[in-house]
Amino acid sequence: MGCYDNSTYLGFPRSSGEAFTPCSMKFAVLFPLLLLANGAQAQQKAVQKDIAAALAEIKAFERQAWVRDSSSGQVLRSQTEETFVDKGKFYSKVEAELTAINKKALSFDDQINLELINHQVLDELAEYQYKTYFNPLQTDAGFHARLAGIGGTIITDKKDAEQYLIMLKDVPRYVDENMQLMRQGIALGITQPKEVLKGYETSYTQHLVATAEESTFWKPFSKQPASMAAPEWAAIQANARLVIRRDVIGSYQKLKTFFDQEYLPKARATLGASGFPNGRAYYEDRVRHFTTTNLTSEQVYQVGLTEVARIRGEMDKVIRDVKFKGDFKEFIAFLRNDPQFHPKTADELLKDAAFIAKTVEGKLPALFGKLPRQPFTVVPVPDYLAPNYTSGRYLGAPISSKRAGQYWVNTSNLPSRTLYTLESLTLHEAVPGHHLQKSLTQELTNLPEFRRNLYINAFGEGWGLYSEYLGHEMGFYKDPYSLFGRLTYEMWRACRLVIDVGIHAKGWTREQAVTYLADNTALSLLEVNTEVNRYILWPGQALAYKMGELKIKEMRARAEVALKEDFDVRAFHDMVLSNGSVTLAILEKMTDRFIKEQQDKAKRKKA
């Protein structure tokens, strides 16, 4: 299971005419400050000058750094060291200016705005401080893999076609700049570990096709727009064939040569983030960022051990209940190898996922007072991503988009796909998980725009895991094997707390990590290996799920105890989702505020 993904650009949805920018979603503080400085109260006026000064600087920077002019031919993001250094210096100034703001003079809502701005600014500064831009590779989201996403461009007229061709012509520059970053990374010891790069070549060799028509990048040219005449479209296609062969396939060939001759031979021998220069400090920073807490890696590790022991007890009970003749390891082997637990066809897997999703939708009104308007669909993971991809993921869509949200299900390598985890996967990725949470957030017109598109892992992934737990309250997991699948998914996230810290702070080998995950869950061995590679390549991100879920459960328990018979689960869930994606500290403040409001409401009702 993967994390939530969406088509946003620095925290803002891309307009239809804006070039795709294959980069991780970060954050732009330009527009939130416009709304942050909206206080009418006298106490807030004192800080408006500080905010206005920051706004002027941010506005100029955003225009210079991110607004692309197609006439320049450079419509993809600049990936030079100079660009990242300039960005780091800029956000250092922003951080100092925001720190100087008198927080006591802000309303509760603007305190949340400011705290979220600071959270994102600190992440930008970490990229600058630890020079992570020299390492633009991840398991399934390296710059070259994300670049293929522009193949989803929709062409409706000649202007669209010409704009897309400009993007394709810019691919060589974009790839060259990333390769230069990686060369500098090699010199500094900032590379991915050699041990997990076996098989990574498929992420770029799949684009080395014989003809333009076989390329993922050709897809937008495969269907003639109704607005274009046949001769005009034929000319566009002829040009596209040339550009794709020369600029796109040629760039991927150049990338293959770079990996073969330069990167792979010099990739670092160490495994964890502690192998980077100043790596231990970097990892502790990632722990704080992805958990949105001040916990140390050791504290997170201990939480993981406690959760693993608790969940194992529940799993053992299921094994006893089904009267299985064998131990835990033998039961896991039975689940992994018995054909009854695996889909026979891709269509079967997709149909089962769609049926579960539709069934869940019918149960949502009992748990939520407010439901999103935006629909979603169930689709397979694209072929160019599937081999190294997780079991599923949610791909959001801007609320103004003409497409629905997408629940991606990985239909490759069917013997490795498990039906007993499909209920949990669907609850997490679709509803009431990522689709419901993200779609509702986009409808919160009372929030600044950056918050309607912001995604904080601890909250979003914590909500996804909590959504799996809600399956019990919806009547799912009646089948003991599905229940074991649910526990496997929870155990998987608990194991992440142990494994991630083990790899990046305790010197674990890859074999140790694989063995730990394989021995404690019923994930397929393909999933186990894919997941461990992901933890190695993306330090700290895997910690978000369990830490976020534990906090949401803690807040629900706090509200239930405080409100007793006045506790309304629908009101609680609506409250949790009412401010979009937030840090866990903000969620705690929201919960305390909710409890007081509900207590006051109950008193008025009884008076």
Give the pLDDT score at 347: 98
Q: Are 171 and 76 in contact (CB under 8 A)?
A: yes
Q: What is the pTM of this model?
A: 0.88
Tokens standing for residue 172: 């060589």
Give the pLDDT score at 63: 64
Give the pLDDT score at 376: 98
CA atoms within 13 A on the CB side of 29: 33
- Find where tokens 């534990």 sit: 550
For residue 6, pLDDT beyond 90: no
Residue range 102-134, pLDDT digits in tens:
888 888 888 888 899 889 889 989 999 999 999
Q: Which residues contact 22 (CB under 8 A, 6 or more apart)?
A: 76, 77, 143, 146, 147, 149, 150, 174
For residue 318, pLDDT beyond 60: yes
87-91, 156-160, 341-345: segment of lowest average pLDDT: 87-91
Share of the chain above pLDDT 70, in %: 88
User: How much is the CA Rg of the chain, to the nearest whole Å?
Assistant: 24
Give the pLDDT score at 20: 37
Q: Which residues contact 459 (CB under 8 A, 6 or more apart)?
A: 292, 548, 581, 582, 583, 584, 587
Q: How far is 571 from 548, CA to CA, in rounded Å?
A: 20
pLDDT band of residue 28 (cuts 50, 70, 90) is very low
Give the pLDDT score at 60: 66
Helix (H/G/I), strand (E/B), else coil: 376: strand
For residue 527, pLDDT beyond 50: yes
Q: Beta-carbon neighbour count of residue 160 at 10 Å?
A: 18
Share of the chain above pLDDT 90, in %: 74
Strands 405-409 and 376-380: parallel
For residue 583, pLDDT beyond 50: yes
For residue 7, pLDDT beyond 70: no
Q: Measured between alpha carbons, how far is residue 267 from residues 196, 259, 260 in Å?
A: 10, 10, 11
For residue 59, pLDDT beyond 80: no
Residue range 533-556, pLDDT digits in tens:
999 999 999 999 999 999 999 999
CA atoms within 13 A on the CB side of 472: 9
Contacts by residues 220-229 (CB-CB < 8 Å, ≥ 24 positions apart): 220/151, 220/152, 220/153, 220/154, 220/155, 220/161, 220/164, 221/155, 221/161, 223/155, 225/155, 225/156, 225/157, 225/160, 225/161, 227/156, 227/157, 227/158, 228/157, 228/158, 228/161
For residue 44, pLDDT beyond 70: no
Tokens standing for residue 271: 């495994």
Residue range 568-579, pLDDT digits in tens:
999 999 999 999
Number of separate helices (H) and strands (E) present in the chain: 26, 5
For residue 409, give the H/E element and its range.
strand 405-409
- The residue extents of the domains of the chain are 11-277, 283-546
Q: Are 289 and 540 in contact (CB under 8 A)?
A: yes
Q: What are phi and psi of 545, to 5 degrees?
A: -60, -60
Q: How far is 424 from 488, CA to CA, in rounded Å?
A: 10
Output 22 or 354, whichever has higher pLDDT: 354
- Find where tokens 């330090």 sit: 539
For residue 37, pLDDT beyond 70: no
Residue 378, strand partner residues: 407
Beta strand segments in 236-363, E = none
For residue 23, pLDDT beyond 60: no
Rounded mean pLDDT of 578-591? 98
Q: How far is 298 from 547, CA to CA, in rounded Å?
A: 14
Residue range 131-183, pLDDT digits in tens:
999 999 876 668 999 899 899 899 999 999 999 999 999 999 999 999 999 99
pLDDT band of residue 27 (cuts 50, 70, 90) is very low
For residue 208, pLDDT beyond 80: yes
Give the pLDDT score at 11: 31
DSSP string of 460-477?
HHHHHHHHHHHTTTTT--
Rounded mean pLDDT of 384-406? 89
Helix, strand, coil proportions of the chain in percent (round to 5)? 65, 5, 30
For residue 411, pLDDT beyond 80: yes
pLDDT band of residue 437 (cuts 50, 70, 90) is very high
